Amino acid sequence: MAPAPYVVPQVDSAAVFKPEIFRGKVLFCTGGGSGICRGMTEAVMRHGANAVILGRKLDRLTQTAKELSEATGQICIPAQADVREPKTLQDAVRKTIEKFGRIDFVICGAAGNFLAPISGLSENAFRTVLEIDTLGTYNTIKATIAHVRAAKGSYIHVSATLHYNGTPFQAHVSAAKAGVDALSAVVAVEEGPHGVRSNVIAPGPIGATEGMDRLSLKAGEHRAPAYPAGRMGHVDDVANAAVFLFSDAAAYITGQILPVDGGFEHLRGSTVPYPQAVLDPASVAHMISPKL
């Protein structure tokens, strides 16, 4: 009988980093109302930072901000904004400065995705994903850069690994995230002399998130994926990477892309039957939620 594979443990960042490493710092996070970005925000707050979370749904943001404040003992405030609209980001930055007087860390995490083949993808749908992910990242950088410069701060851009290889039904997000990666690299070289660092976290499949629920094939429709780390990713895995990249331990790390995927990308194949799925998309519609 073959031995069972080793499964890497989930680690609390507090077991590695001191609780006060971000004391007095302020985090500005787009997409912070849920999922991966909420998890990163909570982790940074647990190490002493206050935070502003941005999104389009004020009711969800308000509830999340309350929960994060209660969980961490720090201050988190909501700011309604659409990253496609620069003025709303500028207003959120103004609110942040009025409340806290500074912005040290920025997470550019607002994103949109769905499954669709190019043949069934409208120009408007393609444009919308680029506007949220790529243009939204650019708008966030523009709105915050003066304050991040003043604080000698740092950016983390949330990307993906989909564009490292061709991924069926993901042309829109692959193009968008490739643009995010490129923007981060330019920020690193342009703003490095001003004391600003910029890096990318590229999560692989992360369980119990809205994105994973939306993009995963239905249960029983595909072979379980293989992870060299022994398990699917957890939000805490991404959060720990964010704590490290914002910390002084990463002071010499900038312009880099950090996949957080347990080695999944090295073994990833198509998530849908290939080439059947691209030759006849309707034949796999029942496997996908939402449907094609």
Q: Are 115 and 162 in contact (CB under 8 A)?
A: no
Cross-sheet strand order for the sheet of 50-55: 76-80, 50-55, 26-30, 105-108, 154-158, 197-203, 257-260
How far is it, in rounded angstroms, from Cα 175 to Cα 134? 9
> Which residue from 138, 141, 153 is spatially nearest to 100, judged by alpha carbons?
153
Contact between residue 177 and residue 161 where contact means Cβ atoms under 8 Å apart: no
- CB of 175 closer than 8 Å to CB of 219: no
Task: Check if 25 is active-site.
Answer: no
Catalytic residue among 177, 184, 198, 247: 177
123 dihedral zone (left: phi>0; alpha: psi -120 to 50; beta): alpha
Q: In the chain, what's the furthest Cα-to-Cα distance?
A: 63
H-assigned helices in 75-161: 86-100, 123-130, 136-151
Three-class secondary structure of residue 175 per DSSP: helix
* Catalytic annotation, pick one of 13, 154, 159, 216: 159
Answer yes or no: 159 catalytic: yes
d(CA 26, CA 97): 10
Give the residue numbers marked as catalytic.
159, 177
